[in-house]
Amino acid sequence: MLKGMKYLMLILLLAAGSVFAATSWTLNVGSRNAVIYAPDKRDNPALVISMHGIGGGTWWTPGAMKFEALADTANFVVAYPAGENSSWDLGGDKDVNFILAIIDSMYNRYQIDRNRVYASGFSMGGMMSWWLSCKIPDKIAAIVPGDGYPLGGMSGCSEVRHVPALQIHGTADDFVSYSGFVGSFMPAQRTRYGCPSTPVKTSPYPVGVNGRNASQLAQTSKSFMEYYGPCEKDGLTSELALLSVDGMIHDWATPDKLNANDDTNYKGKPFDVNGTWEAWNFMKTHSLDGEIVTIPAHRDSVYNGSFADGTAGWKLNVWDGGATGSVVNEEYQVKIDSIGTSNYQIQLIQVGLILEQGKYYEVNFDAYSTSNRTLEVNVEKDTDPWTSYLQNLQNVDLTTSKTTHTFTFAMEQPTDSNGRLSFNFGASTQTVFLDNISIKTVEKPTAISWINNSKDVIAVQCDNSLLKMEFKAPQSKKISFNIFDLKGNQMRANVSQIGQGEIQSWVSDLSQMPRGIYIVQINANGKAIYRSKILNAN
């Protein structure tokens, strides 16, 4: 706290029914405030402090940096503080104490994890991020400044800890000079941190989806990442990195923004990166009390599906009713005390799945319960309106025996780089156990398939909603044509006896069956001789 100053009572203004919370408080030297965004559901959340540039304010930062969508799913609170006179104190303690007071307030209000407090900002807000790392490194776990650094360097820094930092900077920025950062400030910090002089360079960057939209993914990136680490000096370990956004002038890169560079090579084009996604992806891996298990972001497979790493990668949402989740003997156990009004109100989820339009996916998992019950499974969008990507929600019958369950679906919606796999338990109170959860791409189910062998000739053709199957055998056989859903329920069947050399055909109209993937099976004398998946896209 500033010497000779007294902080007055902090007043929390929370609009009824709003997801935004406004925290307003007054110093005896003037009025200070910060807009707070806190997700409805929190569990010892992290805190991200996001700061505006000179001339900005809390009216600018949320719309420009857009941390809210990530906060909703990644369990963190966002504070957008207002600098006094729309600027920041980069040489004293005034704003450092302001930030410390916000941290205390968020701990009292939301029980934030004090070991996971992060700072990010644009322009002068980026400079302030560096200043916080210099003055209170024992309070800030990591920083991600954007197009901002102390132009005169930093001195008088506390050396109790070197704060990990990712600088995001436009290569065409001549307002807060990119060349000045590369040529002067970054080398000074590398020396201070004890980092390697030569970075590990990834070019082009990103190499994955990394939170980008379709327009960004459609263009070839010319941006690059330089990683300086691991760093070590005087027993302190850390890391530094620089993400250089090709052609970006003085700006913060978000997917919905176009480059304002007058150079025709860049003007009006999307940025190569999603700066907000990159910021959180870096920050979330750091903590004051040690390393955090890094869950691969935007992946095409389930992370920790065997629960060998405990609950890492999984989150139990209890929107209504009561339930607890834990890993016992490498199985996820959900105990339900009371149910809500809908299945999804008690759910185990994993987010971050890349689901590409036009591809087919197979989901597998083992499950059982303390007594017979159903379990609802969904693959869906992770934000409102939580669109399901399944033709029909999967309702699985569980027994007391551990059983493997499988279903396949076609991704018909636009590609989602942050899809969600959800197991919904809210229908009943029986305890459920899950294990060996996976999702993988599979080949498109056979539309036209021919099988010829030494004994039988089989033809299967699916044209729109008409399925035609033919069978010819060298000897008399009892033939059955069958269609099953992915739960094994028989949807259609036809049985006949054919003589030697005869051809038996069967046509089934699938138009009255729900859209989805089905199993076609042909039996001869009670033995399955043909089995394949088909897509009913009526």
Residues 187 and 91 in one domain: yes
* Whether the predicted pLDDT of 294 surpasses 70: no
428-453 residue pLDDT tens:
999 999 999 999 988 775 543 444 44
268: CB partners within 8 A, 6+ apart: 258, 259
The pLDDT assigned to 368 comes to 96
Residues 525 and 417 in one domain: no
Residues 386 and 486 in one domain: no
The pLDDT assigned to 178 comes to 96
Band of pLDDT at residue 22, cut at 50, 70 and 90: very low
Residues 427 and 520 in one domain: no
The pLDDT assigned to 30 comes to 55
Residues 96 and 192 in one domain: yes
Give the phi and the psi of residue 274 in degrees, each rounded to 5: -105, 100
Residues 22 and 155 in one domain: yes
Domain boundary among 393, 409, 442: 442
Rounded CA gap, 327 and 431, in Å? 13
The CATH number given to whatever domain includes residue 171 is 3.40.50.1820
Contact between 238 and 231 (Cβ < 8 Å): yes
77-116 residue pLDDT tens:
999 999 999 999 999 999 999 999 999 999 998 899 999 9
Token readout for 229 is: 């680490």
- Give the HSE-up count for residue 350: Cα atoms under 13 Å, Cβ half-sphere: 25
In a domain, 153, yes or no: yes
In a domain, 242, yes or no: no
Q: Domain containing 138: what range?
A: 11-197+274-283
Judged by DSSP in three states, 432 sits in: strand
In a domain, 522, yes or no: yes
In a domain, 259, yes or no: no
Judged by DSSP in three states, 95 sits in: helix
501-531 residue pLDDT tens:
666 667 777 777 777 778 888 888 878 777 7
Of 148, 147, 436, 369, the closest CA to residue 273 belongs to: 147
Least confident of 53-57, 117-121, 406-410: 406-410
Residues 501 and 396 in one domain: no
The CATH number given to whatever domain includes residue 346 is 2.60.120.260
Residues 392 and 513 in one domain: no
Residues 75 and 177 in one domain: yes
In a domain, 246, yes or no: no
Q: How many structural domains comprise the chain?
A: 3
Cis amide prior to 230 (ω within 30 degrees): yes
Query: DSSP for 196-244?
Result: -SS-EEESSS-SS-TT--HHHHHS----EEEEEEEEEETTEEEEEEEEE
Domain boundary among 414, 442, 470: 442
Residues 27 and 154 in one domain: yes
520: CB partners within 8 A, 6+ apart: 460, 467, 469, 481, 482, 483, 530, 531, 532, 533, 534
Of 44, 115, 34, 108, the closest CA to residue 75 belongs to: 44
494-509 residue pLDDT tens:
776 666 666 666 777 7
Domain boundary among 442, 472, 507: 442
In a domain, 267, yes or no: no
198-220 residue pLDDT tens:
999 999 999 878 888 889 998 99
The pLDDT assigned to 468 comes to 73
Contact between 338 and 321 (Cβ < 8 Å): yes
* Whether the predicted pLDDT of 326 surpasses 70: yes
Contact between 527 and 482 (Cβ < 8 Å): no
Q: The pTM is what? A: 0.57
Residues 415 and 529 in one domain: no
Residues 420 and 472 in one domain: no
The CATH number given to whatever domain includes residue 475 is 2.60.40.2550
